[in-house]
Amino acid sequence: MIKFQGISKVFDSDITKKAFSALTSVDFHLEEGSITGFLGANGAGKTTSLKILMGFIKATSGTVEFSEKLGRSPLEVKKNIGYLPERPFFYPDLKGGEFLQFMGQLNQMPRRELNREIKKWSKRLSIDFALDRKICTYSKGMLQRLGVTSSLLSSPRLLILDEPLSGLDPVGRKDIKDILKDLHVEGITIFFSSHIVQDVEEISSRLIVLEEGRLIYDGSTLDLLENNSQNKYIIDFIDVQDEFIRPFEKLIINTSGRLLQLEVEEAQKDKIVSQSVAHNVQIKQILKKQPTLEEIIYNKQYEL
Amino acid sequence: MNYNFQAIFIIAKFTIWDILRSKVMTNSLILGIALGILTFVGKEFTFGAPLKISLDLGMAMVSISTKGIALFFGIGLISKEIETRTVYMVLSKPIKRYYFILGKTLGLSSILIINTAILSIFCLFFYGINGGVIDEFLLMTIVMTILEAMLLMVLVIFFSLVTNPILAFIYGLGIFFISYGLDPIANSLYVHNNSGLRNILEVIKFIMPNFKLLNFRDYLLYNQSVDYSFRLSCFIYAIGYISFLNIVNSIVFSRKNLD
C-alpha cells in the first residue's frame, strides 16, 4: 500500500543550530490490510517519517510510493487516508461538531452521509455529548477522541495515526484499541506510532522500529517475540524444605517469606518437578521466561 | 480528479466562524460606541467644523481598527496554524496547499469587511445626524480603507511565511510607514538634487506597496476633487497588488516545509 524507500532527512543548519540527520536511509513498506505499529523512543524519527509520508515536509533523499488502490493523484490518495497528527490542536473557538463538519466537508462528503458518520463515530468514541461545546473547553483525552473521530469520518482505506493513544485514560485507550482492531478486521490498513510498547504489542501484527533515525526492525511482532524467547522457566515453590533445595541453591533467584523462586533450564525443569513431588513440596506456578516486547526493543541485550 | 475549489470557501467559512467566536467583533462594537462618545465630545471643542471632526474621527477609527485586525490576525493566520499543527489536520484532506492559504485569506478579508461595515455604519450614522451628506466618494473612501487593510494583511502573511511572527510584524508595519514617508522624502530638495538617490527611491517606490495611494481620507476631509480615472487606477492598483501577493503567498506556502 505504501513503499517508503531509502528515505533520509537532514534538517539544515542555521546560525543557531547545527544540521542534524533525523532519518537515515529508512526503507519499509506497508501491506494492504495490515496493522503496523511504529515504535521508537522520543526523537527516533517517527513523527518526521509520518510528516514525509503525508507530504508535509520533503525528504532529503528517497521516495514515498502509494499503491494505485489508494488513488492515482495525490488528492485521490489523500481522500483515502485518515490522518491524526501527534498532540493534535484544534481551532479552540469552534465547537467539536463544527470541527467535524469542517473536516468532513473538506473531504467532499455529502451532507447526509457526513452527519451520519459524525453521529456514528462520535458515539463510538464517546465524544458525542460534547459536540456542542467549544473545543477550548475539552480535556486532552477529549481532544484525542475528537481527532480520532475526524480521521475516521471519510471511511479511509488507510489510517495513519501519530500517537493516537497518548493523553487517554485506560478506558479511552481501550476504546481506541478496540476500534483499531475492528477496523483491521474490516480490512483497513492501519499504521500508528507509539512509544507505549504494550499497546503496540497488544494490537499490531507487524512492527517497524526506529532508533536514532535508522530502521532497526521491520517484521512480525510474533516473530520478534519468538526469536527472543528463552528456554528458561521460573518455578515458584511454597514452604520448601532445606534438604530439597540444597542441590539447586545456585538456581535461586528470589526468596520472599514462604515463597522461593528458581530459574531453570528446560532440561532441568522436569527433574525438579518430579523431585518436588517426591519430597511433597508444593509448586505454586511454573512460567516460561518470556521477555516483553518493551524489554526486547529497549534493552540492548536482545536481538532485533 | 476534479479540483475541489469549494474547499477555499469552506476554509474561509470556518475561519470567519473561528475569528467571530474569538469576540473580535465585540471590539468593533465597543469602538463604535466610543466613536459616538468621541464625536459628541469632540464636537463641543471645535469651532465651526463639527462635521469635519465627526468624519475625521470616524474614518480614523475605521482605518486603525481594520488595519489592527489585518496586522495582528494576519501575522498568526498561517504561522499559528503551523505552530499549533492544526494545519496538518486540514492539509491531510484532499486539498491543494494553496486552497488553504487562499481560504484563510478570504476568511480574514471577510472579517475586515464586516469590521469596516460595522464601524462605518456608526461613523456614517454620527456623521449623518450632524448634518453630513453621504456621497459616493465617502463610500469609495471606505472601500479603499478595506483594500488598504487587505494589502497590509497579505503583506504580513507573506512575511510570516518567510520569517517569524515578530519579524513579520516589524517588517509589515515598517513597510507601511515607509510607504507613507517615501513621497515627502522623494520630493525633498536633497533627493531632488541627487540623481542616484532619486533613482533608488523610484525603484523602491515601484516595488514597495504604496499604501498612501489607497488612502482617500485627506481628499475626503479637505473636499478635494479626485477624478474618476485616478480613483479607478488606485482601485486597480490595490486589487492587482493584493492578487500578486496572494499568488506569491500561495507559491511560498506550497513549497514550504511544515516542520
Of B17, B85, B95, the CB nearest to A106: B95
Inform me whether the pLDDT recorded for A156 exceeds 70. yes
Of B85, B94, B257, the CB nearest to A78: B94
Q: Point out the least confidently predicted range of A9-23, A172-186, B120-134.
A: A9-23
Inform me whether the pLDDT recorded for A98 exceeds 70. yes
Q: Which chain A residues are within 8 Å of B94, Cβ to Cβ?
A: 75-76, 78-79, 106-108
Inform me whether the pLDDT recorded for A301 exceeds 70. no
Q: Taking a contact as any Cβ pair under 8 Å apart, which residues of chain B between 239 and 258 contact chain A?
A: 257-258
Given this model, what pLDDT does residue B90 score? 93
Contact predicate B95/B89, CB 8 Å: no
At A213-237, the pLDDT tens digits run 999 889 888 888 777 777 788 889 8
At A29-52, the pLDDT tens digits run 999 999 999 988 888 899 999 999
Given this model, what pLDDT does residue A157 score? 94
Query: What mean pLDDT, rounded, does chain B reach?
Result: 89
**Which of the four pLDDT bands, split at 50, 70 and 90, describes residue A302?**
low
CB contact under 8 A, B258 and A51: yes
Q: Which residue of B has its CA nearest to A78?
A: B94
* Distance of alpha carbon A183 from alpha carbon A161, whole angstroms: 13
Mean pLDDT for A3-25 is: 85
At B19-75, the pLDDT tens digits run 888 777 787 778 778 877 887 777 777 766 778 888 888 888 899 889 999 999 999
Of A54, A73, A93, the CB nearest to B92: A54
Inform me whether the pLDDT recorded for B104 exceeds 60. yes
CB contact under 8 A, B21 and A134: yes
Given this model, what pLDDT does residue B2 score? 57
**Which of the four pLDDT bands, split at 50, 70 and 90, describes residue A300?**
low
At B114-126, the pLDDT tens digits run 999 988 998 888 8
CB contact A100 to B (< 8 Å): no
Nearest 10 degrees: Cα torsion B110, B116, B117, B123: 180
Best to test chain A binding among B13, B84, B90, B259 (most A CBs inside 10 Å):
B259
Task: Please work out, in degrees rounded to the nearest 5, the angle formed at the alpha carbon of residue A89 by the alpha carbons of A53 and A133.
Answer: 135
CB contact A147 to B (< 8 Å): yes
* Cα dist from A18 to A12, A14, A22, A155, whole Å: 7, 7, 12, 42
* Distance of alpha carbon A115 from alpha carbon A117, whole angstroms: 6
Given this model, what pLDDT does residue A214 score? 93
Inform me whether the pLDDT recorded for B1 exceeds 60. no
At A111-148, the pLDDT tens digits run 999 999 999 999 999 999 999 999 999 998 899 999 99
At B221-242, the pLDDT tens digits run 888 888 899 999 999 999 999 9
Contact predicate B174/B183, CB 8 Å: no
* Cα dist from B241 to A248, B203, B234, B247, whole Å: 88, 16, 10, 10
- The 3 state secondary structure assigned to B89-157 is HHHCCCCCHHHHHHHHHHHHHHHHHHHHHHHHHHHHHHHHHCCCCCCHHHHHHHHHHHHHHHHHHHHHH
Best to test chain A binding among B11, B73, B92, B253 (most A CBs inside 10 Å):
B92
CB contact under 8 A, A106 and B10: yes
CB contact under 8 A, A107 and B1: no
- As for the ipTM of the complex, it is 0.84
Best to test chain B binding among A10, A16, A53, A56 (most B CBs inside 10 Å):
A56
Inform me whether the pLDDT recorded for B250 exceeds 90. yes
CB contact under 8 A, A75 and B91: no
